[in-house]
Amino acid sequence: MRPLRTVTVAITPLLGDIINQVVAMRAPIEIVARLNHRDQLVVRLQTLAPDLVLIGLRQDEGIALSLRNALPRARVIALSHDAHRAYLPLPHRNRTTLIDLSPVALIEAIRAF
């Protein structure tokens, strides 16, 4: 099984370290781009054509659902602004919340795809 081509967007340095050091070693992902800002985000992501997008949300931001619609083939995991929760936007459903955003929970969410 080939690794999921992954793009991270607006991920905090601490969470980026966790993804690089823990998650990427145990889940089938390859980080192909790290985007630090949202300028023309949808266009940039459509150009990169990732399998998985990990996006850090700002407080009260709901961008993940619009990303899910703009990138129907990509999987999106949105991480709350405080890095305590993650959301898995699913088409035609309410978002699913991961209560425990530990490295293990994130790995399990990635593997579930």
Q: For 52-72, how does the pLDDT look when each residue is reduced to its tens digit (9 = 90+)?
A: 999 988 887 766 667 777 888
Q: What is the pLDDT of residue 63?
A: 65
86 with 99: CB under 8 angstroms? no
Q: What superfamily does domain 4-93+101-111 belong to in CATH?
A: Response regulator (3.40.50.2300)
Q: What is the pLDDT of residue 64?
A: 64
Q: What is the rounded CA–CA span in Å between residue 22 and residue 43? A: 29
Collect the ranges in the chain with pLDDT lower than 70. 62-65, 90-99
> Residue 62: phi, psi to the nearest 5?
-125, 35
Pairing of strands 96-98, 75-79: unpaired
pTM: 0.85
Question: Taking all residues of the chain, what is their mean pLDDT, rounded to a whole number?
Answer: 83
Q: What is the rounded CA–CA span in Å between residue 39 and residue 69? A: 18
